[in-house]
C-alpha cells in the first residue's frame, strides 16, 4: 500500500490546515487537554456493559447538547446521535462515531484513577480514548465556529464488543436516511495516531451443540456420548486448511458438557470463532463446520442402530452467534487519498491494519470508512488493569479533525 497521496489531496489538506478557524480549533484542543481527560475519566466511570449502554448514551447526549449539536437523541437501539448542520442544505453527510460499550460485565467495579496524564480503569482506552476524541472534536467545532459544507453526524454507538455483533452500526446502515446520505465514515476506537484500519476482518461465530438421552456410565454404556461425538467433530474441524493468504483462522474457544464423571451427558456444546479477510473463506469454514457435525452425529447414530438398542438418537444444533462482514477501503476513494494526505501533512507514518471494528459494516456495503485511534497511548486492553496516557493525544486529535474536514468540507 503506497504512502504517497495525490498532490491535489495534499494541497487541499494544507489549505484546510491554514484556515484561521482550523487554527482556532487546534488552539482549543491544545489548551483544553486537561478538560478532555476529565471528560474521559467521567464517562469511563459510567458502566456500559454489552446491552447496557443507556446511562453512558444519556451522558453523551447531554454533552452533545452542550456543544451545540442539533437533533440530539437516543435512537431505537440505543445509539447516541447528534448533528452538526452544514452551512447550506446538502444531500451528503459524513459520520464520525465511537462505540459506547465495553467488554466488562455488569457489576464490574470501575473507579477511575488519574495520575497526571495517566488514567487507569477498565475501559479507559477501549473505548474511553475514542469517545474522548469524539467529544473533543464536537467541542472544538463549537468553540472555533467551524461550519462544514455537508452535514456531520456525531454518534456514540452501541454493540461493538463481542456478542453486541455491531448492532449499533447495523441499525444505522439499515435506516434509509443514513444509508442514502453517508459518503464517508470515520470510526474512533482506542488510542494511537499512526494506525489506520483500512481492511475489515470478517468473522463468524457459532455455538454447536449435540444432545442425546444421557444415562449412567455403566448401565447405559451402549448409548452414544455427546462429548465424545463433539470431540470427534472438533478433531476433524481442527484439521481444516487455514490459508496464509488470504489469512484465515479458526478457534475452538469453549467446550462445555457433563454433570459428573460417571454420567453420560445429555448435551455438549462448543463455541467456534472463524476469521478471514475473504468472505469466501468464511463461507467455506461454515460449510465445513456443518459437515463435520453432521457426519459425526450420523456415524454415532448408525453405530447405535447396529446395536439394536432402543433409545433416542443424537441430534445437533448450530447457532450463528456472531457475524461480521469483511471489506476494504478502496484505493480509488477520496477518503483513502485524504487519509494519506493528512498523515503526510502531519509527518505521521501511516500504518494500515486489518481488524474487526464498527467500520466492517460500511466497508462491506461499499461506503468508504476507516478506523482511527484517538491519540495518546494505552494498554491492558480488556483487562481490569487497562490504562490510557494522554501524552501525545493532541496529534491524534489534529489528525482526525483534518481528515474529517477534508471529507466534510469547510
Q: How far apart are CA 249 and CA 275, in angstroms?
A: 5
- Is pLDDT above 70 for 312? yes
> Do residues 234 and 294 share a domain?
yes
- For the record, the C-alpha cell of 211 comes out as 444432545
* CATH code of residue 330: 3.40.630.10
What pLDDT is stored for residue 307 in this prediction?
76
> Do residues 176 and 266 share a domain?
no
Residue 3: pLDDT band with limits 50, 70, 90: very low
The structure's pTM equals 0.88
> Do residues 256 and 136 share a domain?
no
User: Is 1 part of any domain?
Assistant: no
Angle, helices 33-44 vs 128-144, to 10°: value is 140
User: Is 280 part of any domain?
Assistant: yes
> Do residues 107 and 34 share a domain?
yes
> Do residues 268 and 291 share a domain?
yes
Q: How far apart are CA 14 and CA 19, in angstroms?
A: 9
- Is pLDDT above 70 for 1? no
Tens digits of per-residue pLDDT, 95-146? 999 999 999 999 999 999 999 999 999 999 999 999 999 999 999 999 999 9
- Nearest Cα to Cα of residue 380 among 101, 193, 43, 128: 128
Tens digits of per-residue pLDDT, 144-153? 999 999 999 9
Stretch 18-29: mean pLDDT = 98
User: Is 2 part of any domain?
Assistant: no
Domain edge (last residue) among 299, 324, 349: 324
- Is pLDDT above 80 for 216? yes
> Do residues 184 and 330 share a domain?
yes
> Do residues 298 and 312 share a domain?
yes
> Do residues 141 and 18 share a domain?
yes
Task: Please tell me the total count of domains within the chain.
Answer: 2
CB-based contact 119:112 (threshold 8 Å): yes
User: Is 42 part of any domain?
Assistant: yes
Residue reference for cell 505521521: 348
Residue 297: pLDDT band with limits 50, 70, 90: very high
Which residues span the domain enclosing 221?
202-324
- Is pLDDT above 90 for 4? no
User: Is 60 part of any domain?
Assistant: yes
Contacts of residue 275, Cβ cutoff 8 Å, sequence gap at least 6: 201, 202, 203, 248, 249, 250, 282, 356
Domain edge (last residue) among 324, 350, 365: 324
> Do residues 66 and 136 share a domain?
yes
Tens digits of per-residue pLDDT, 41-86? 999 999 999 999 999 999 999 999 999 999 999 999 999 999 999 9
User: Is 401 part of any domain?
Assistant: yes
- Residue 350 backbone dihedrals phi, psi, to 5 degrees: -65, 135
> Do residues 165 and 208 share a domain?
no
Domain edge (last residue) among 273, 307, 324: 324
* CATH code of residue 286: 3.30.70.360
Residue 2: pLDDT band with limits 50, 70, 90: very low
Tens digits of per-residue pLDDT, 263-282? 999 999 999 999 998 889 99
> Do residues 376 and 401 share a domain?
yes
> Do residues 319 and 330 share a domain?
no
Amino acid at each position: 500500500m503506497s504512502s504517497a497521496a495525490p498532490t491535489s489531496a495534499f494541497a487541499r489538506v494544507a489549505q484546510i490546515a491554514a484556515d484561521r478557524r482550523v487554527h482556532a480549533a487546534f488552539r482549543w484542543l491544545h489548551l483544553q487537554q486537561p478538560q478532555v481527560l476529565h471528560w474521559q475519566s467521567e464517562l469511563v466511570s459510567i458502566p456500559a456493559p454489552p446491552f447496557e449502554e443507556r446511562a453512558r448514551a444519556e451522558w453523551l447526549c447531554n454533552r452533545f447538547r452542550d456543544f451545540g449539536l442539533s437533533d440530539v437523541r437516543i435512537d431505537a437501539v440505543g445509539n447516541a446521535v447528534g448533528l452538526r448542520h452544514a452551512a447550506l442544505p446538502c444531500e451528503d453527510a459524513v459520520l464520525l462515531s465511537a462505540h459506547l460499550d465495553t467488554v466488562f460485565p455488569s457489576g464490574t467495579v470501575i473507579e477511575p484513577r488519574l495520575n497526571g496524564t495517566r488514567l487507569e480503569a477498565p475501559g479507559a482506552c477501549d473505548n474511553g480514548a475514542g469517545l474522548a476524541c469524539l467529544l473533543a472534536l464536537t467541542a472544538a467545532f463549537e468553540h472555533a465556529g467551524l461550519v462544514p459544507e455537508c452535514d456531520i453526524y456525531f454518534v456514540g454507538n452501541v454493540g461493538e464488543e463481542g456478542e453486541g455483533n455491531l448492532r449499533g452500526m447495523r441499525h444505522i446502515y439499515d435506516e434509509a436516511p443514513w444509508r442514502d446520505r453517508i459518503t464517508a465514515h470515520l470510526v474512533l476506537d482506542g488510542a494511537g495516531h499512526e494506525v489506520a484500519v483500512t481492511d475489515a476482518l470478517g468473522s463468524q461465530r457459532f455455538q454447536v451443540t449435540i444432545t442425546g438421552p444421557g444415562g449412567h456410565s455403566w448401565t447405559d454404556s451402549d448409548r452414544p456420548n455427546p462429548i465424545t461425538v463433539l470431540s470427534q467433530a472438533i478433531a476433524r474441524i481442527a484439521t481444516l486448511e487455514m490459508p496464509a493468504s488470504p489469512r484465515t483462522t479458526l478457534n475452538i474457544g469453549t467446550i462445555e458438557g457433563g454433570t459428573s464423571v460417571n454420567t453420560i451427558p445429555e448435551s455438549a456444546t462448543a463455541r467456534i470463532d472463524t476469521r478471514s479477510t475473504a468472505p469466501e473463506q468464511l463461507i467455506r469454514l461454515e460449510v465445513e463446520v456443518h459437515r463435520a457435525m453432521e457426519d459425526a452425529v450420523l456415524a454415532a447414530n448408525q453405530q447405535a442402530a447396529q446395536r439394536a438398542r432402543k433409545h433416542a438418537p443424537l441430534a445437533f444444533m448450530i447457532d450463528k452467534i456472531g457475524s461480521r462482514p469483511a471489506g476494504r477501503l478502496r484505493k480509488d476513494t477520496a477518503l483513502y487519498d485524504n487519509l494519506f494526505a493528512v498523515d503526510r501533512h502531519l509527518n505521521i507514518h501511516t500504518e494500515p491494519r486489518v481488524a474487526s471494528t464498527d467500520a466492517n459494516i460500511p466497508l462491506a456495503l461499499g461506503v468508504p470508512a476507516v478506523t482511527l485511534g484517538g491519540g495518546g497511548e494505552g494498554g491492558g486492553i480488556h483487562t481490569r488493569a487497562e490504562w490510557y496516557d494522554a501524552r501525545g493525544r493532541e496529534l491524534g486529535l489534529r489528525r482526525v479533525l483534518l481528515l474529517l474536514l477534508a471529507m466534510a468540507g469547510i
